[in-house]
Structure 1
Amino acid sequence: MQANNTMTTCTDEVARRAYWAEQMQLGYELVQQILPFEVAECGEGFASLRDAAETAGIEMLFSDTKIAGELDRVFFMRESLVQAVMDVGRDMNQRGWILKIEDGYRSLEMQGSLVRKPELFDSILKKCIWEIGGEIPSAEFVFRRAIVLIANIPKIGTHMSGSAIDVSVFRRDEGSEVWRGRPYLEMSEQTPMRSPFVDEDSLRNRLEITAMLEARGFVHFPFEFWHFNQGDALGNILSGRAAPARFGPVHWDPRTNRVTPVDDPLSPLNPLPVIEREIASALQRATDRVVVV
């Protein structure tokens, strides 16, 4: 019996590793489609999701955690998309759910810091080591994975376009989360929307939440069960629209509500030398944890 259990565990591990590698490669291929996709930035300003929900009388939650270090999350997005989010929130309230906005717009500085955030970078590196059988991966390999998991190039990071939200959902009656198999910001083979490694109830919840957002024009990023966007290069590609995207990565001035397109949207926020340094730091943190234990 012990031998059979061991064999089953090994088989499951192989399947999980193969699925993870396949999904990361598909994500990287999608990124390659985004990079050359035409963007005709419309210059639309931003509006507050929190203010819109309060004005409309929609019950909506907002994350109270910091995004990277001590940076506050910015619950703003493009003005024309705010109403779509309100419609989703109202739909969910009528269903007995509450939409929680985990994240909205991110500046380039916020996104670059998020890639380097120790908890997230350590998770990415750990998965890379697991994927290749325990070896220390090259900086190029980690760079490719980080592009999919936490956008490291402005053009592909729809939060930097003000056209994306990360969401969770809770029940209005007793406050429990509508469980999707793992918590927000999971980094594993359970992260892709249709992962076969989540239970049927969790998958059904993911797809029902997705259907409600897609009914209001959003698309889901296939490799994260919490991310939804529209009007940007990724959104146009996933919805089969060949027209140039309206929204690209921008610098936003909250005082004037003016947006300025990013000068070099294809330049990595954290180039390879930075990734190399972060790998060394992550390995040192892992060693320090072992020594402490």
Structure 2
Amino acid sequence: MVLLSDPRVRNIPVLECGEPLVEIGVDAGITLDPRERDEAGEYGRVRAGVLERLRAASERLPAGVGFLVIEGHRSPEEQARRFARYADRLRRSGITDPVERRRRASAFVSPVEVAPHCAGAALDLTHIDADGVELDMGRPVNGHRTGDERACPLDAPGLSAAARKNRDLLAERLGAEGFVNYPSEWWHWSYGDRYWALMRGVSAAVYGPV
């Protein structure tokens, strides 16, 4: 698995296209979860092209299934805070080598200089039913915060048939619109950032930090 700390990600150039950040808002098949929003409400924004692709994916979901967006754009300051917090957790668990600690931290929190969320290119999301109840995905979004790291990868073993089916649906619909998954986090999908470019074999990212 290629991690976001990999030098190949950092070496991808950015040819910024200038698309604005737009509010996700209320849309058919798309719901914004308010629990993760900061005081400015910035977590509910993504690049215009990202939202267009999310809308296209939602239109192709089965009847009664929608997307619940947990988080979109994240400020560099918030990203740096989260990375430092997770790295410190690893330090306290006994990971003393700073290089190894950075590598392990990047499995769940991107280094700020390449972070897809800071580019407005990433979405943390899951599926919900018609009543707004989250579908069984095996483990919740951000499961690494509660020590569920082993169940966080998209292809984690030991999932129930229902959870596997729901993760496959998420991957099928978002992948069809050009999104790429960060394999250690089943809920994290991005388009247009450096990681996306590397995974898709594209010469440059179109979204840089905003």
TM range (shorter): 0.7 to 0.9
- Output aligned runs, 1:18-97, within 5 Å: 26-28=1-3, 31-50=6-25, 53=27, 58-66=28-36, 72-92=41-61, 94-97=62-65
1:111 has 2:79 as partner: yes
Query: Is 1:149 aligned to 2:108, yes or no?
Result: yes
* Residue 186 (structure 1) aligned with residue 186 (structure 2): no
Choose the corresponding residue for 1:170, options 116, 119, 128: 128
TM-score when normalising by structure 1: 0.63
What's the counterpart of residue 217 of structure 1? 178
SS in 2 for 1:194: coil
CA distance, structure 2, for counterparts of residue 113 and residue 138 of structure 1:
19
**Pairing of 1:189-204 with structure 2 (within 5 A):** 189-204=150-165
Report the structure, 1 or 2, having the larger helix content. Answer: 1
> Does 1:98 pair with 2:57?
no
Deviation at 1:145, TM superposition (A): 1.2
Contact 1:147–1:153 under 8 Å retained in 2: no
The question of whether the paired residues in 1 share the 8 Å contact of 2:71 and 2:124 is answered with yes
| Superposition deviation, residue 247 in structure 1 | 1.0
CA distance in 2, matches of 1:74, 1:175: 19
* Structure 2 unmatched ranges of 5 or more: none
- Look up the SS of the partner of 2:54 in the other structure: helix
Q: Is the Cα contact below 8 Å between 2:125 and 2:187 reproduced in 1?
A: yes
- Secondary structure of 1:169's counterpart equals strand
Offset of 1:30 from its aligned partner?
A: 6.8
Q: Which amino acid aligns with 1:220?
A: N
The amino acid of 1:151's aligned partner reads S
Gaps of 5+ in 1: 1-25, 130-135, 251-293
The structure with the largest alpha-carbon Rg is 1
Q: Contact 2:73–2:121 (CA<8 Å) still a contact in 1?
A: yes
Q: Percent identity?
A: 23
**What is the CA distance between 1:71 and its match in structure 2?**
6.6
Which residue of structure 2 aligns with residue 244 of structure 1?
Answer: 204
**Cα RMSD over matched residues?**
2.4
**1:152, CA displacement in angstroms?**
2.2
Return the alpha-carbon distance in structure 2 between the equivalents of residues 236 and 125 of structure 1.
29
In structure 2, what residue type is equivalent to 1:95? A
The separation in 2 between residues aligned to 1:200 and 1:227, in whole angstroms, is 21
Higher relative contact order (Cα pairs below 8 Å, separated by 6+ residues) = 2
Measured in 2, the distance between the counterparts of 1:27 and 1:229 equals 15
Distance 1:121 1:244 in 2: 29
Match of 1:15 in 2: none
Task: Supply the AA of the counterpart residue of 1:186.
Answer: G
Q: Tell whether the 8 Å contact from 2:74 to 2:118 is kept in structure 1 after alignment.
A: yes
SS of equivalent to 2:81: helix
For residue 158 of structure 1, report the CA deviation from its aligned partner.
Answer: 0.3
| Alignment-derived partner of residue 166 in structure 2 | 205
Equivalent residue letter for 2:8: Q
SS of aligned partner of 1:80 = helix
